[in-house]
Structure 1
Amino acid sequence: MLQPDIQYLTTHGAVQDAAAAMRKASRLAVDLEFDDMRHRYGRNLALIQIFDGSTAYLIDPLPLTNPAEELEPIWELLRDPVIEKVFHSCKSDILLLDELYGVHVRHITDTSVQYTLLAEADNNISLGRLIQSELGLEVDKGEQKSNWLKRPLTEAQKVYAANDVIYLFELADRLTAKLETLGRAHWADEENAALEAVRYTRDERPYLRIAGKYRILPGELPLFRDLYMLRDQVAKQLDRPPYMVFANDRLSELVRDTPRDLSDWKAARGLHPELKRAPYLDQLAALSSDTFVPVPEPAATGEQRRFPFRRRLNGEKTARADAREQLLLQLKNHITADMNSYVANLVLSNRLVADIIEMGAEQVLRPWQQTILRETAQRHSLDYSLIAQPFDQASQA
């Protein structure tokens, strides 16, 4: 393909003009560059790349006075259900747009989803590898981990950013043709349609993920939580990622070997200097091993508190759940033999098996997955109805 024109846009007027030009297109290739707690606090949009078939627009939100408002012409395009938006591995992008701007993208085609449904390999493929395997082109990915919030952008960054969108139409078309040959185009239609419903949800207790990784004991959790939240407070004030205030490893060390008093905190290694000044030093002092008064974790909600489904069963119900699991594993083995292991895992991953045991295949699976499961059961004289409905509604015979 011919190298497209690359336009770098930094003003509201330029954004409006570009959006008017792009509105004539039936599809747009889209990508975002953003910083997720690497160089600044929080998740920050750094660049929007859109290709309309002839021009690659690099839209820079950083020079704009009010990006949420001044980028509205772009948001309108993304929301428009008539215009197809082609992404590669879009979930993090659409979550960011929802979190920061309340933008819900419509009519999505994700080349990563398409590739996964070819079932040629277990894992998602990077865009660079997909371009190489499908188009035979080597694309320089050297700027992948550069600081996208630093200005000015280099010419290498601009070329890299444009390359993330200019090949997406050709990739989507090739993958669509392959899926159609396999009779799987409707699989991709269903999976892509489901992406429209992806929404950002705020994690009210983010420290629990790190606590699990560092095997923090229940009695240590209140101090771990309070140190985590203090670190986050300082990071937000400094507009720096929390790891620049002190590292996660240091967080767990401070919980297990906590400074005893103010002088110990002043001498503690690995802490950002801001922590050793008022008002944060006083807050640290209150966390000293000699003075800390732990506040218990709030009571978990019913959803958080409940045990995994299988642990709540006993007796006859355990036997029924075991029977559902064995049937699902039989079906997975048959799908592996009839098609391949990659398709089998798409239909019955370990997580899906656990969910189907509790909620039933017709609630958990997409229609294309249900069809494969139902046809496999019929072909091998197995009873699909035994796993179709939720556990509590299924026949107890």
Structure 2
Amino acid sequence: MAVHLYQSDLPDGLNLGPVVAIDTETMGLDPRRDRLCLVQLSSGDGNAHLVQIARGQTNAPNLERLLTDPAVLKLFHFGRFDIAAMKQAFGVTTAPVWCTKIASKLIRTYTDRHGLKYLLNDLVGVDISKQQQTSDWGSAVLSDAQKDYAASDVLYLHKLKAELESRLIREDRLDLAERLFAFLPTRAELDLLGWDQTADIYQH
């Protein structure tokens, strides 16, 4: 495994293939308030690419091009948050997308454990540490532990997608899942506009 760290944007000419796993680290859990600090990506080849985002930075041309490329599927776990965080930072809508958390909730209705750590352990046989999850991601210098943690959130998403997708197909729920994935960018935009969990636009 190799972890590549970049400042402000992906390097020119980097091709991560047709399906790219993406995750983000921020200063907190409200994308309207808490700035984007790090975007991590993987093509599923065992390598991770981390992009540090500076305070006040409003564009990252190469990254934005990937996020909006209709030929590249962006793979997330709880994409709703990451899509909102990147739209808040750069003003772009990420699409098309696939979310392992939504897939898990659709197909693993026998459990309420849909966190990435549980899914990777149960379906992929990988145990990841979440110890650095609440560390200071705004630091100018990331520790090795932070970089390893950030990488672990994207390195195994391709394998997890394959496991979940096979179950969605088996239970005839893949079409429903894909329609939910297509709605995710809109759901993220609603979050940024204030229609969050306590103001669900679908409620009576």
Q: Which runs of 5+ in 2 are unaligned?
A: none
Higher fraction of helix: 1
The residue identity in structure 2 corresponding to 1:96 is: A
The residue identity in structure 1 corresponding to 2:104 is: Y
CA contact (8 A) 2:57 2:89 kept: no
Q: CA deviation at 1:122?
A: 5.7
Aligned equivalent of 1:21: 14
| C-alpha distance after superposition, 1:56-102 (max 9, x if no partner) | 10111128xx7323x11101101111100100011111112222321
Aligned equivalent of 1:61: 53
Give the distance between the partners of 1:97 and 1:72, measured in 2 at CA: 13
Aligned equivalent of 1:31: 23
The residue identity in structure 2 corresponding to 1:21 is: L
Aligned equivalent of 2:77: 88
Number of paired residues? 197
Aligned equivalent of 1:143: 132
CA contact (8 A) 2:40 2:51 kept: yes
Give the distance between the partners of 2:146 and 2:89, measured in 1 at CA: 23
Per the alignment, in what secondary structure is the counterpart of residue 149 of structure 1?
coil
Distance 1:120 1:202, change over 3 A: closer
CA contact (8 A) 2:80 2:185 kept: no
Q: Which runs of 5+ in 1 are unaligned?
A: 204-208, 210-303, 305-350, 356-397
Matches within 5 A, 1:83-232: 83-121=72-110, 123=112, 125-198=114-187, 199=189, 200-203=191-194
Q: CA RMSD, aligned part only?
A: 2.6
Q: 1:42 pairs with 15, 28, 33, which one?
A: 33
Aligned equivalent of 1:292: none
| C-alpha distance after superposition, 1:312-334 (max 9, x if no partner) | xxxxxxxxxxxxxxxxxxxxxxx
Per the alignment, in what secondary structure is the counterpart of residue 120 of structure 1?
coil
Aligned equivalent of 1:6: 3
CA contact (8 A) 1:47 1:60 kept: yes
| C-alpha distance after superposition, 1:282-339 (max 9, x if no partner) | xxxxxxxxxxxxxxxxxxxxxx9xxxxxxxxxxxxxxxxxxxxxxxxxxxxxxxxxxx
Distance 1:42 1:31, change over 3 A: same
Per the alignment, in what secondary structure is the counterpart of residue 43 of structure 1?
coil
Per the alignment, in what secondary structure is the counterpart of residue 25 of structure 1?
coil
**Relative contact order (C-alpha < 8 Å, sep 6+): which is higher?**
2
The residue identity in structure 2 corresponding to 1:68 is: T
Give the distance between the partners of 1:124 and 1:184, measured in 2 at CA: 19
Distance 1:31 1:37, change over 3 A: closer
CA contact (8 A) 1:88 1:127 kept: yes
Instruction: Normalising by structure 1, report the TM-score.
Output: 0.46
| C-alpha distance after superposition, 1:103-144 (max 9, x if no partner) | 101010000010001142464611111111111221111111
Q: CA deviation at 1:44?
A: 0.8
| C-alpha distance after superposition, 1:248-304 (max 9, x if no partner) | xxxxxxxxxxxxxxxxxxxxxxxxxxxxxxxxxxxxxxxxxxxxxxxxxxxxxxxx9
Give the distance between the partners of 2:116 and 2:65, measured in 1 at CA: 26
- Percent identity over the alignment is 24
Give the distance between the partners of 1:9 and 1:140, measured in 2 at CA: 23
Distance 1:11 1:46, change over 3 A: closer
Q: CA deviation at 1:186?
A: 0.8
Higher fraction of strand: 2
Instruction: Normalising by structure 2, report the TM-score.
Output: 0.86
Runs of 4+ in 1 over 2 A off after TM superposition: 66-69, 119-124, 200-203
The residue identity in structure 2 corresponding to 1:178 is: R
